[in-house]
Chain A
Amino acid sequence: MMRHSFPGLLFVVAVSIAGCAGLTTREPESLPVSDNSAVTALVSTARTELANGKLDAAAGSFERALRIEPRNPVLWQELAKLRLQQGQYQQAEGLAARSNGWAGDNKSLRAENWRIIGQARLKRGDYPGAQSAFDKAAQAN
């Protein structure tokens, strides 16, 4: 069992490092979040709050934006990333999956969601699950 999963584990770790890089190097401001000015204002507030380490306040702002645009996949994804940062892995996975539901054919968004799911699974010790998520991220791109 161990022998079998060790190379897989290595692979997952390697991919996840790539995934991490993807998460951090991405410029979030470059995403066109919404054409609703209230939503963009809330997202910008949330990002400021994030930068200041006020994670709960940021989550509140994202949720407020989601009440205005519940079908906006970027908002779901932002919340997923935040939960990942907070160590709420199950929530992160659920939110990223929700984002995927609304992502349509936005490939980069989907890839990012799968990376978040992979990260979350990795943290929870679900290596095969993480691997399959990272695979999907690679496919989506």
Chain B
Amino acid sequence: MDNPVLEKFRQSFLRKRLRLVLLSFALLLSGFVLYLDLTVRAQFEGKRWALPARVYARPLELYPGLKLRPEQLLTELAMLGYRDSGDSLDPGHYRHDQDRFTIATRPFAFWDGAQPALQLRADFDGDRLRTLADLKTGQPVTLARLDPLLIGGIYPAHNEDRVLVKLNEVPPLLVKGLIAVEDRKFYTHHGVDPRGVGRALVTTLRGAGVQGGSTLTQQLVKNFFLTPERTLRRKFTEMIMAQLLELHYSKDEILEAYANEIYLGQDGNRAIHGFGLASHFYFNRPLSQLDLPQAALLVGLVKGPSYYDPRRHPARALSRRNLVLQEMLQQQAITQQQYAAARATGLGVVEQAPGGTSLYPAFVELVHRQLRRDYHEEDLRSEGLQIFSSLDPLVQFAGERALTTRLTQLEKARRIPPNALEGAVVVSNAQNGEIQALVGGRNTRYEGFNRALDTERPVGSLIKPVIYLTALQRPDSYTLATLLDDSPLVWRERGAPDWEPHNYDKAFHGQVPLRLALANSYNVSSVRLGLSLGVRTVMDNVRRLGVERDLNTYASSLLGADGLSPLEVTQMYETIASGGFRVPLRAIREVLTAEGQPLQRYSLSIEQVIEPGPAYLITSALQGVVREGTADGLNKFLSPDIHVAGKTGTTNDLRDSWFAGYTGDRLAVVWIGRDDNQPINMTGAGGAMTVWGDMMARLDPEPLVPPRPDNVEMVSVDAVTGRRADDNCRGAVSLPFINGSAPVETAPCAASSPGPSIKNWFKRLFE
């Protein structure tokens, strides 16, 4: 050990080793830095925030002659956040004086081009918009749209939501405030503030945890690249990355990224990121339009959006905002006057966050499902697509109101425990298949089980119109006046117990005209008719009308034993309502990219699947259901002049109550039942029909006057026998018949003159 040569050798060996260690450490470190550098650059440059798809309602189209009540326009304007203002006519304001409106519309980029901000004068005459004119020039305006209501979004993972902004859209005062409060040396440091680091180091060494001293750049790095754990190693990485970021990018680029990344609030499970969205979320206005106190509040929120939440803790938020203002004054970012004026202002936060987590979650879910057929889920959640839907907020409002108020009333009236009843409503445009409203349950803001789409309940008598339609497609055998047999029936099928259908009134009705068997929803005659046509034939027609699932072909299927969702029922009736044309139900009109480029249009598509003649006859029969059948109670809600066509549906043991019906402009299907499938003791007429009537009465429906096809003639027949009648017959009714199918024999009341029937016989001979 004392050997000096050996000792020297040892020392030199140690030195070499130390150098080697140091060298490899330096190598490792530079490797690490290089790795961080690559990460920072790749991620910052490739950084694309996941932007949710935004779903909009239909824009309200304004034009002279439009059927709209002034209070409906007021509702629309209120939903859109337009302010009733005495003087200001900035976009988003309006004035209202009885039948006269002055509206300053917001500019909006629609699918077919941008519409600039307009100042419009609209005059009403009763329930019509009489004139529309440009406020300044007085020139008539033929057509203008209000901006559409944002009704929800399809959010990325973690439910981050944001509205991207450019730095020049951020008010300079907000930037000044941010720098005054969060990072005074932002424009001079190189990503890390040495004094801040020193402070942070001291607190850390004192054992008070790793914290503080973060520059804006470090905060950005933390949010961008790192996990929220607080360790020394992470802090070290953060500091290196912050300096690398500063090395490659300008202060403005870093600031812009910060402005879009920062977390500023929470709306349910939706996280509010960036000043752009926060501005809408708290003040319902674009970022560029914020004033000083509002900008100061947003800056104040950076420290703790939950702790300083201006909606839940307004006092805390106010003192935090004032602190920001004070800092700004001290940094001479604002003058004493500005400070005094801003301090004296209230928070100015809107009570309800606009377009928050879906206003209409059930409808947005339908939109989402329809989009999934054409788009990747990931794109929907990240590409910022703009989805223009067909939802009509006014119709949706009527549907929600009618369902919730009626369910409560029905529970009281029928001694059902409160909140036991559930329901669903689907409303569509009877001509083009657009879904205008969809209610998935009585808790209309609940993003859970969507009964309109996913509940599958026996449809009961809602299936019957298809049996009758199938019969009416054979005019040689069946007309609206054909007598059906409603006497007792026993159905024997191998492998199944005998089946004896009964009528709801527990009686049999002998010979019944076809239209009345449907109007009164007689089970026995309907089953007998369906069996003679063939259950499979009837069910094929159900599919032809647009129900896509496989259907059973049991005899009981004729009484609607099989389950369908309210949406499927809507599709089936849509084809009937549109005169035999199958029109696929649509919830989406157009899809645009985040930049407003048209991507896709979902166009109207139709296919004639039922001849116009039988389609006309079945609508006529369904009008009879409302006029003189099981749905005659609708007359309490709507004038008989509307000539509603509809059908009630009731299932075994009164577990489900259905109503499907249409007017000249809308089709709606309502279901009521319990989630646990217990009996609700109400028929279709007692439950669902009242919701339907209540809703439609709020919507001023158009009368249903379908065009009579060429090959259909109106013929007077005796109401009881269904034979041809004349002026002598008192109980005669005028019914549509497909040419050549009207009864030839005259009724006893008209028997005195056999003339008409012979004339008719000759007429038919030569047709």
Contacts and interface: CB of A to CB of B under 8 A. Distances in A.
Given A94-B608, A101-B579, A41 B143 contact: yes
B579 A70 contact: no
Contacts of B707: 71, 101-102, 104
Interface in B570-621: 579, 581, 590, 601, 603-608, 612
A13 interface: no
Interface string B173-193: 000000000000000000000
A79 B603 CA distance: 11
Interface stretch (A2-10, A19-27, A60-68): A60-68
A137 interface: no
A66 B607 contact: no
B665 A66 contact: no
Interface string B27-40: 00000000000000
Nearest to B665: A70
A112 to B, nearest CB: 16
Interface stretch (B57-65, B98-106, B402-410): B57-65
Nearest to A97: B608
B428 to A, nearest CB: 12
B63 A59 contact: no
B604 A79 contact: yes
A87 to B, nearest CB: 14
Contact of B606 (A41, A67, A71, A95): A95
Interface in A1-50: 36-38, 40-42
B112 A38 contact: no
Contacts of A104: 707
B111 interface: yes
A140 to B, nearest CB: 10
A90 B581 CA distance: 12
The interface residues of chain B, by DSSP majority, are classed as loop
Contacts, number: 73
Interface in B44-83: 61, 63-65
B431 interface: yes
Nearest to B603: A59
B112 A60 contact: yes
B581 A38 contact: no
B432 A67 contact: yes
A70 B111 CA distance: 21
Contacts of B640: none
B250 interface: no
Interface residues of B, number: 27
Given A38-B65, A70-B431, A104-B707, A60 B111 contact: yes
A104 B709 CA distance: 8
A36 B607 CA distance: 28
A68 B111 contact: no
Nearest to B616: A101
Contacts of B590: 60
Contacts of B61: 38, 64, 67-68
Interface string B229-248: 00000000000000000000
A119 B671 CA distance: 44
Given A42-B143, A63-B604, A66-B604, A94 B581 contact: yes
Contact of B601 (A37, A56, A93, A97): A56
B168 interface: no
Given A56-B601, A57-B112, A66-B604, 11 more contacts: A37-B64, A37-B140, A37-B143, A38-B63, A41-B143, A60-B590, A60-B603, A67-B61, A70-B431, A71-B431, A93-B608
A98 interface: yes
A132 interface: no
A98 B615 CA distance: 13
Contacts of A66: 431-432, 604
Contact of A68 (B63, B112, B608): B63
Interface string B126-140: 000000000000001
Contact of A36 (B63, B112, B429, B434): B63
Nearest to A40: B142
Contacts of A90: 607
Q: List 5 A-B pairs, minimum CB-CB distance, nearest first.
A: A38-B63, A70-B431, A38-B143, A94-B606, A41-B142
13 contacts: A38-B65, A41-B143, A56-B601, A59-B601, A64-B112, A67-B61, A68-B61, A70-B431, A79-B604, A90-B607, A97-B608, A97-B612, A104-B707
B581 A98 contact: yes
Contact of B432 (A37, A56, A63): A63
Contacts of A38: 61, 63-65, 142-143
B603 A63 contact: yes
B671 to A, nearest CB: 26
Contacts of B605: 91
A63 B603 CA distance: 8
A41 B62 CA distance: 13
Contacts of A95: 606
B606 A101 contact: no
A70 B581 CA distance: 14
A115 to B, nearest CB: 17
A67 B431 CA distance: 9
A41 B606 CA distance: 25
B534 to A, nearest CB: 27
Interface string B329-352: 000000000000000000000000
A63 B604 CA distance: 7
Contacts of A63: 432, 603-604
A83 B608 CA distance: 15
A55 to B, nearest CB: 11
Given A37-B64, A94-B607, A98-B606, A60 B431 contact: no
Nearest to B605: A91
A43 B212 CA distance: 64
A66 B432 CA distance: 9
A90 B429 CA distance: 22
A74 B612 CA distance: 19
B606 A37 contact: no
A98 B608 CA distance: 8
A61 B601 CA distance: 12
A73 B111 CA distance: 25
A71 B61 CA distance: 18
Contacts of A57: 112
Interface in A71-108: 71, 79, 90-91, 93-95, 97-98, 101-102, 104
- Interface centre among B63, B142, B143, B434, by most chain A C-beta atoms within 10 angstroms, is B143
Contacts of A94: 581, 606-608
